[in-house]
Structure 1
Amino acid sequence: MIRLSAFADEISADLEEQIAVLKQEGIHYIELRSVWNTNVLHLSDEQLATIKQRLEANNLHVAAIGSPIGKVPVTAPFEEHMYQFERALIVARRMETPYIRIFSFYPPENEHERYRSEILQRLRSLADRAQEQGITLLHENEKLIYGDTIARNVDLLSTLEHPHFRAVLDPANYLECKQVPFPDAYTAIKPWLAYVHVKDVTHDGTLVVAGEGEANWPALLEQLRTDGYDGFFALEPHLAAAGQYQGFSGAALFRKASQSFQHLLKTMHWEYR
């Protein structure tokens, strides 16, 4: 059965408000990206323990770690980034999730081909290390990273062909890169698809709730169901702000995004948890 999750820091920086809204919306999973205005990789062991205890007490589980790994220039030292990645692996194990969301580095403008080999080498190192820990990396097609377009994303996925390096489908991100999320992107990355992010954008770049933009969510959902998708749909609406490292909606707008997406699922009678 498909499951709903959410980047709960879109609701509030406060953990208790995040939990309250998720419970009101009937969402049982969280994408752990930040709490108390602190990025997930900078949370202390004590803070992680508190988060885990409060989530478990409210029947909530961590679907994925929303890490910023790979969201740095490819020219930055890799050893320092690997140190951060080790922390991401520790956090994933402590929060009992098999997934870490990552990116594929920022190449200098118009120098994608020059840095392709370096990026592939870095991603393979990350994926190999993740495999050792039983963790799967979820690559998000974020704007301006190497794998932001359909062609470059497929290049990464097919060249690596790594069981612990899988694809996120983020339709709005593809639209922001002038790509067609459905059917083009979906069809291209389908062999590696493991996760879906839920947000939408209009032709003028305004972020809106799923179904009100250009992502063609109803058709995408129908195809996903036909193809047997049974993973997560992670709400990441960015309705109030969209920054480099995280977006924000606030409680009211997050509820609107949640209810709009759940309405799409209910309309097509697709059961979810």
Structure 2
Amino acid sequence: MTTPSALQEHNSFATPSTSWTLSGFGDEISPDPHAQIAVLEGLGARHIEVRSAWDTNVVDLDEDQLSTLAAIVKTAQFSVSAIASPIGKVDVTLDPDLEVQRLRRIIRVAKALDTTNIRIFSFYPAPGSSMESVRDEVLLRMRRLADVAEQAGVVLLHENEKGIYGDIPERILDIVESVGSANLRLAWDSANFVQVGVRPFDDGYTKLRPYVDYLQVKDALSSTSVVVPAGEGDGQLRETLAALASDGYDGYASLEPHLSSTHSLGGFSGPYSFGLAARAFRGLTDELGIELR
């Protein structure tokens, strides 16, 4: 367990000069990109994470939709922090070429929206299969995805989604170290760790910090797995944020509240609950001396 003195030690390094870039999953607010950007702007953000628009996932956006979305973002003088793709959120027994081709489509979206960051996952085992039995197939697929990323000059951010191969720190570390690509990094999600019985800071921070390039902000209760605003659950957000500030993290903090509903490709909060989540997170960062820009 993290002791008060340990938290104080981390906190002593978080000064007002510590600055992170605030972003958020726009489709947690509304299907309409105009509304997504309006709410984020009202919360002090100038960046957006794109998972879907007009109820269409990024992998399925057609050329007209993509052009319109890029124009909306540019007109608002916003930037895209990452493409929240569904790559790797499929059964590991499927043909690996399918995800390679889908990644190529996502890279097209990333280029159009002027970001190099693409969130991915590390595959579900087939029903009845153990995680250990699918390791080689997962690593083969992750290496192929990393190859495509290297060729395209994009960065894949692996999210620790519950139920995929990389849902606990030990297997996440196995993925990044076995693949060994500078284009495969980690997105940290405290709530997802809680939902698989992991104490995020105590069990994962030291192992994974060298590879963490992106922060997804949500929290959860260990007793029920219910997602709650940052700092109100068991995700050890204070310890993690303080440690990241101490370690010199200066990247994105992307709000993904999941406060109203969840589904296979994401979740929804609505403008009001999204605002609650943003204010809870800002309360933590203010307490720790972290500026959100």
Aligned to 1:63: 81
User: What per-residue deviation string (whole Å, max 9, x for no partner) do you get for residues 117-136 of structure 1?
Assistant: 11111111111111111100
The 1-side partners of 2:62 and 2:197 are apart by: 39
The 1-side partners of 2:98 and 2:145 are apart by: 13
Contact 2:37 2:76 in 1 (8 A): yes
How far the C-alpha of 1:168 sits from its partner, in A, is 1.1
Aligned to 2:227: 207
User: What per-residue deviation string (whole Å, max 9, x for no partner) do you get for residues 121-160 of structure 1?
Assistant: 1111111111111100000000110000111111111111
The 2-side partners of 1:183 and 1:220 are apart by: 9
Aligned to 1:17: 35
Contact 2:48 2:79 in 1 (8 A): yes
User: What per-residue deviation string (whole Å, max 9, x for no partner) do you get for residues 152-183 of structure 1?
Assistant: 11111111121000011111100000011013
> Which stretch has the larger CA shift, 167-176 or 106-115?
106-115
User: What per-residue deviation string (whole Å, max 9, x for no partner) do you get for residues 181-206 of structure 1?
Assistant: 01321111111111111000113222
Structure 1 regions of 5+ residues with no counterpart? none
Q: Does 1:171 align with 2:195?
A: no
Q: 4+ runs of 1 displaced by more than 3 Å?
A: none
- Equivalent of 2:150 in 127, 131, 134: 131
State TM-score, norm by structure 1: 0.97
Computed over aligned residues only, the root mean square deviation of the Cα atoms, in angstroms, reads 1.1
The 2-side partners of 1:170 and 1:183 are apart by: 14
Aligned to 2:164: 145
The 2-side partners of 1:45 and 1:228 are apart by: 39
User: What per-residue deviation string (whole Å, max 9, x for no partner) do you get for residues 54-93 of structure 1?
Assistant: 1111121111000000000001112222211110111111
Matched residue pairs, number?
Answer: 273
Aligned to 2:102: 84
Structure 2 regions of 5+ residues with no counterpart? 1-18
Contact 1:183 1:220 in 2 (8 A): no
The 2-side partners of 1:81 and 1:110 are apart by: 20
Q: Does 1:246 align with 2:266?
A: yes
Aligned to 1:33: 51
- Equivalent of 2:212 in 193, 211, 223: 193
Contact 2:100 2:144 in 1 (8 A): no
The 1-side partners of 2:278 and 2:288 are apart by: 16
- What amino acid is the match of 1:178? G
SS of match in other structure, 1:62: strand
User: What per-residue deviation string (whole Å, max 9, x for no partner) do you get for residues 14-64 of structure 1?
Assistant: 111111101111111111100100001111111111111111111211110
Contact 2:100 2:148 in 1 (8 A): no
Aligned to 2:173: 154
State TM-score, norm by structure 2: 0.91
Task: Percent identity, please.
Answer: 42
The 2-side partners of 1:80 and 1:265 are apart by: 40
Aligned to 1:218: 238
- What amino acid is the match of 2:111? R
Greater RCO, 1 or 2 (C-alpha within 8 Å, sep 6+): 2
Contact 2:32 2:54 in 1 (8 A): yes
